[in-house]
């Protein structure tokens, strides 16, 4: 039992480190390290331009999309090499947030389902950051129950084979910065819900696409609503067969849970540092038994997640598939951070209410966590969906009774209130 | 990176599991629960003969000299079956005391007997309720004779050897450790009923019992802190094994039990409870691995890693044991079902090396020291 690199891993790490040392945007390092959860973004430079510049530089040197094949702009690296790169890239990786959805989900979906011609056309500019992608899945009526989505795709009556899209998506991360998206639609409302779906890719500049930022509960706008009004998509941009959209979406969602679930922040290091500095009426907060007890609760969760990750990395290092342990990541981190933020504010007393960083404690980092953390427990699978996944896929418990399973989509009730 | 047990260690785990399936079924645990014996002597002797007890004891002291990682995988298996044996008192604690602080002669006398299971050792520190500190220890040694009352002492009714924390010459700031032969003069003891009858607890009264200094005089609590860290990691594996088994019992029952025309495992209330048990057990396992790594490499991280492993393991086993009863419903509260064995053991182990709040306090104090050292 050890944390040592194999000789191959050590060589790869040294190569990555040397390249980063010579090429990373070091003038941004301090600022990137200070950005905290729920309070991201560069102030000194345009974050989009900085992100694109870093991505381009990486791609030209062969350090972008490590897990992708070389012919599509990646490196063809092993899973363990991808992990090592992530460890070495460190704070600079936060610049890559703009590309997370594209590289983690859209790219793998295209690789599995697009034509070879389209893969060669679309993937390299995605890898280099020249083109940004988003995923158009969730809808007002289709969140956890994604297959309940209502955006319609109907074949054009002009014989062109094109599809005409009408409907609305919601919670689309980064749509306002995206050039392309992958879109799941309903093509047949007369069959049960999972069977009538079809997936496409499209240009976000297509006529009839309208993007409206959502003002979130925390005041920021990272997500969007996207409206489709008679948007035309050629049939060759279809991913998978007509009616096969659910299967295609699973490719994407499996990748979503993998990428969002790894290395989630818990806020513990920040809280520990804060308690080292904070003076309570009877001395340093870190010496207070109640504070210590609470800190210990968060410490063992943060540690447990860290070493659960190490176990998964060890499996990768041996060329094995990691076990299901990593499925606990977001479930633990999300709820833990929310509780931790409330506790940090409680320690601040009445001043915990202040958000203005000029007046607030710890540059209002815990207030930012408080206001952002509800979203963590929802996005990429709610806590409840994640528990279902653990129960069903890890523990082997039965799936839910699905009352709408064999019902044509158009006959599924849409309101809980009786008429 | 290889943050996992080796194939050989996993094979040893499989071997131990097969052995315990045969030698420690539920009926064996119940024999101790309901009978007069303080522990399963046959099983314990067998564990000694198989070399399991001596896994981390060097060969020159009668052990097998494998190492602590091997002891960790063995502990996990013992935890899974609630083995009614004094392995934690005797091997995780007493043997570690001797290895850490014993003189050559003390090691030669006692370690072979502990490794074979012929003798049982224990650590006597508590004197009633509350956290053990230099102040709480009133037992005292003068002129090589120990007097005082220790309660509770795990396995104190059947142990042959006690390591006793006592004041040296009546000075309350100076706690030392002493070896006491519990079969010798000046020792009287009685079994005290406890929440986990598959593991016994005793009150021991020392009245001028011959006591031999273990380790440096006045360094008792410092030595004990180091040894209890090592024991905390090993005990965490007992708890991890117990957590997993309690979760499996709950899952199996939920799949079997029908209510409202369905398997109760199909209700989200049950599924989510089981998912949360899995989460707690997984966090505890990963933290226990961290402790095992620190223990086996004598890392300077051990104080933090041990406290982390201990707090996490206490939480997980209590969580899994109590919700195992909950999933079983009324049947879980019957004597006949094994749920209460895990519930009892979880709450016993939660206290055995010092309570959760004590270890939470230690954890943060140690993280703070590590932080100060790094600064």
The answer to whether the CB atoms of B1 and A328 lie below 8 A apart is no
CA distance, residue B350 to nearest chain A CA (Å): 15
Cβ neighbours of B208 (radius 10 Å): 14
By CA distance, what is A323's nearest residue in B?
B282
Each residue of A249-269: pLDDT tens digit? Answer: 987 776 654 543 357 889 999
The three-class DSSP label of residue A381 is coil
How many CA atoms lie less than 13 Å away from B67 in the CB half-sphere? Answer: 13
Would you identify the CATH topology of the domain A7-127?
Butyryl-Coa Dehydrogenase, subunit A; domain 1 (1.10.540)
CB contact B271 to A (< 8 Å): yes
- Residue boundaries of the structural domains of chain A: 7-127, 133-249, 262-394
B window 273-312, beta carbon within 8 A of A: 274-276, 278-279, 282-284, 286-287, 289-290, 292-293, 296-297, 307-308, 311-312
Each residue of A289-348: pLDDT tens digit? Answer: 999 999 999 999 999 999 998 898 888 888 877 777 777 888 999 999 999 999 999 999
Give the C-alpha separation, B103 to A22, whole Å: 56
Q: Which residues of A are catalytic?
A: 256
Q: Looking at the partner chain, which of A286, A301, A315 has a beta carbon nearest the beta carbon of B364? A: A286
pLDDT of residue B238: 98
Give the C-alpha separation, A69 to A76, whole Å: 4
Each residue of B163-220: pLDDT tens digit? Answer: 999 998 767 778 999 999 999 999 999 999 999 999 999 999 999 999 999 999 999 9
Give the C-alpha separation, B346 to B199, whole Å: 12
By CA distance, what is A327's nearest residue in B?
B279
The three-class DSSP label of residue B149 is strand
CA distance, residue A78 to nearest chain B CA (Å): 14
The answer to whether the CB atoms of A394 and B6 lie below 8 A apart is no
CA distance, residue A305 to nearest chain B CA (Å): 7
CA distance, residue B38 to nearest chain A CA (Å): 35
pLDDT of residue A39: 54
Considering only CA atoms, which of A267, A393, A302 is closest in space to residue B278? A393
CB contact A300 to B (< 8 Å): yes
- Lowest model confidence (mean pLDDT) among A339-348, B36-45, B166-175, B245-254: B166-175
Angle, in degrees to the nearest 10, between helices A329-347 and A289-317: 160
* Confidence label for A94 from pLDDT (cuts 50, 70 and 90): confident
Considering only CA atoms, which of A335, A397, A345, A350 is closest in space to residue A367? A345
The answer to whether the CB atoms of A272 and B263 lie below 8 A apart is no
The answer to whether the CB atoms of B1 and A272 lie below 8 A apart is no
The class of domain A133-249 in CATH terms is mainly beta
Residue with tokens 């009892």: B344
Q: How many CB pairs under 8 A join A and B?
A: 161
For chain A, give the mean pLDDT.
90
Judged against a pLDDT cut of 80, whether residue A236 lies above it is answered with yes
B window 45-104, beta carbon within 8 A of A: 69
pTM, to two decimals: 0.93
pLDDT of residue A418: 58
pLDDT of residue B116: 97
> Domains (ranges, CATH) in chain B?
7-116 (1.10.540.10), 121-216 (2.40.110.10), 221-374 (1.20.140.10)
pLDDT of residue B170: 64
Judged against a pLDDT cut of 60, whether residue A106 lies above it is answered with yes
Taking CB atoms and an 8 Å cutoff, what residues of chain A touch B306?
none
- Span B81-98, mean pLDDT? 98
Each residue of B316-345: pLDDT tens digit? Answer: 999 999 999 999 999 999 999 999 999 999
- Lowest model confidence (mean pLDDT) among A78-82, A167-171, A243-247, B355-359: A78-82
* Confidence label for A31 from pLDDT (cuts 50, 70 and 90): confident
pLDDT of residue B154: 98
Judged against a pLDDT cut of 80, whether residue A89 lies above it is answered with yes
Taking CB atoms and an 8 Å cutoff, what residues of chain B touch A317?
1-2
In the CATH scheme, what architecture does the domain A262-394 have? Up-down Bundle (1.20)
Where do the H-state alpha helices sit in chain B? 7-23, 26-34, 41-49, 68-80, 87, 96-101, 104-116, 220-256, 268-296, 302-328, 339-352, 356-374
ipTM score assigned to the predicted complex:
0.95
pLDDT of residue A141: 81
């Amino acid at each position: 039992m050890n944390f040592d690199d194999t000789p191959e891993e050590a060589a790869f790490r040294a190569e990555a480190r040397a390249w980063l040392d010579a090429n990373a945007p070091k003038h941004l390092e301090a600022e990137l390290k200070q950005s905290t959860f729920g309070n991201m973004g560069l102030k000194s430079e345009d974050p989009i331009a900085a992100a694109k510049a870093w991505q381009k530089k990486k791609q030209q040197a062969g350090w972008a999309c490590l897990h992708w094949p070389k012919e599509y702009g990646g490196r063809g690296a092993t899973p363990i090499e991808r992990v090592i790169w992530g460890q070495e890239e460190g704070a600079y990786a936060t610049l890559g947030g703009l590309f997370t959805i594209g590289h983690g989900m859209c790219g793998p979906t295209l690789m599995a389902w697009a034509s070879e011609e389209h893969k060669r056309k679309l993937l390299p500019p995605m890898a280099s950051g020249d083109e940004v992608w988003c995923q158009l899945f969730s809808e007002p009526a289709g969140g956890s129950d994604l297959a309940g989505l209502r955006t319609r795709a109907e074949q054009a009556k002009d014989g062109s084979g094109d599809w005409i899209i009408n409907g609305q998506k919601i919670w689309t991360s980064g749509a306002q910065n995206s050039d392309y998206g992958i879109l799941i639609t309903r093509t047949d409302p007369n069959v049960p819900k999972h069977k009538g779906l079809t997936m496409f890719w499209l240009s976000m500049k297509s006529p009839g696409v309208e993007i409206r930022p959502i003002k979130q509960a925390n005041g920021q706008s990272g997500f969007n609503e996207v409206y489709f009004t008679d948007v035309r998509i050629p049939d060759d941009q279809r991913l998978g067969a007509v009616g096969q959209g659910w299967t295609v979406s699973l490719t994407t969602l499996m990748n979503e849970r993998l990428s969002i679930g790894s290395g989630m922040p818990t806020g513990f290091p920040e809280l520990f540092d804060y308690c080292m500095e904070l003076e309570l009426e009877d001395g340093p907060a870190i010496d207070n038994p109640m504070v210590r007890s609470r800190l210990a609760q968060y410490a063992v969760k943060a540690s447990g997640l860290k070493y659960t990750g190490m176990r998964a990395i060890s499996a990768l290092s041996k060329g094995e598939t990691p076990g299901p342990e990593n499925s606990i990541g977001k479930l633990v981190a999300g709820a833990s951070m929310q509780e931790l933020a409330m506790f940090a504010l409680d320690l601040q007393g009445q001043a915990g209410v202040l958000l203005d960083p000029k007046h607030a404690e710890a540059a209002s980092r815990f207030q930012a966590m408080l206001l952002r953390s509800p979203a963590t427990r929802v996005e990429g699978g709610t806590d409840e969906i994640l528990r279902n996944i653990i129960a069903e896929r890890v523990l082997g418990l039965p799936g839910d009774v699905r009352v709408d399973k064999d019902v044509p989509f158009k006959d599924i009730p849409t309101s809980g209130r009786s008429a | 990176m290889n943050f996992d047990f080796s194939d050989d260690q996993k094979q040893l785990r499989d071997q131990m599991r097969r052995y315990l399936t045969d030698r420690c079924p539920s009926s064996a645990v119940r024999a101790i629960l309901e009978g007069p014996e303080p522990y399963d002597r046959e099983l314990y002797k067998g564990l000694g003969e198989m070399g399991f007890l001596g896994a981390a004891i060097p060969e020159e002291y009668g052990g097998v000299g494998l190492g602590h990682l091997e002891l960790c995988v063995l502990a996990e298996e013992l935890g899974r079956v609630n083995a009614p044996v004094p392995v934690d008192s005797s091997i995780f604690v007493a043997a570690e005391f001797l290895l850490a602080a014993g003189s050559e002669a003390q090691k030669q006398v006692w370690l072979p007997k502990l490794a074979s299971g012929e003798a049982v050792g224990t650590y006597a520190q508590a004197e009633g309720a509350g956290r053990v500190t230099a102040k709480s220890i009133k037992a005292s040694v003068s002129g090589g004779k120990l007097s005082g009352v220790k309660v509770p002492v795990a396995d104190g009714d059947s142990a042959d050897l006690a390591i006793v924390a006592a004041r040296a010459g009546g000075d309350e700031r100076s706690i030392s450790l002493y070896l006491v032969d519990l079969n010798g003069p000046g020792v009287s003891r009685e079994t005290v009923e406890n929440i986990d009858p598959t593991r016994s607890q005793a009150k021991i009264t020392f009245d001028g019992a011959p006591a031999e200094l273990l380790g440096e005089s006045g360094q008792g609590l410092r030595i004990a802190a180091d040894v209890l860290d090592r024991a905390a990691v090993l005990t965490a594996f007992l708890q991890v094994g117990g957590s997993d088994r309690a979760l499996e019992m709950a899952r199996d029952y939920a799949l079997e039990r029908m209510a409202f025309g369905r398997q109760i495992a199909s209700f989200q209330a049950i599924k989510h409870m089981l998912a949360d048990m899995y989460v707690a057990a997984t966090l505890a396992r990963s933290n226990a691995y961290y402790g095992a790594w620190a223990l086996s490499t004598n890392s300077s991280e051990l104080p933090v890693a041990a406290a982390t492993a201990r707090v996490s393991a206490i939480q997980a086993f209590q969580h899994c044991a109590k919700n195992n009863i909950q999933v079983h419903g009324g049947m879980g509260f019957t004597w006949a079902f094994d749920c209460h064995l895990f519930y009892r053991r979880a709450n016993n182990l939660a206290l055995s090396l010092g309570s959760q709040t004590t270890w939470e306090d230690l954890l943060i104090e140690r993280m703070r020291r590590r932080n100060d050292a790094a600064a």
